[in-house]
Amino acid sequence: MKARDYAPDISPVSAPAQSPETVAMRTRQLLDGRGWCLWQCSALGDDAIVVARDETVKGFPAGLPVYTEAELEEISQAADSTIHLVHEAKKLTLPASGEQASLL
């Protein structure tokens, strides 16, 4: 998975391919700061997702699937087919605003 940073106005900022270590460090900074970040996931067909620290985080862009850190930890142990099923289910159940629905 590769990260895509977004400016405060949620405009995309191009980022070159980054090492997993760099992505992990930047993700941790954003989760510790504002509570969420956006990833563009090659494992999910380059779909963008919101990664949130936990279920209480608000203020992220609407219209994207949301995964908490705990969900990502759990789903990372699953088979690829299961990961894709969960992702498709999340896309079908997107909330109307920047709130998340948990499927796990």
Enclosing H/E stretch for 100 = none
Q: What is the tens place of the pLDDT at every residue in 46-87?
A: 899 999 999 999 999 989 999 999 999 999 899 999 999 999
User: How large a percentage of the chain has pLDDT more than 70?
Assistant: 74
Q: Which residue has the tokens 């759990």?
A: 74
Q: Is residue 45's pLDDT more than 50?
A: yes
52 C-beta neighbours (distance < 10 Å), count: 25
Domain-located, residue 76: yes
Residues facing residue 40 across a β-bridge: 2, 48
The whole domain housing 29 covers 2-92
Amino acid 98 reads G
Lowest-confidence pick of 5-19, 26-40, 64-78:
5-19
Total domains in the fold of the chain: 1
pLDDT band at 15 (very low <50, low <70, confident <90, very high): low
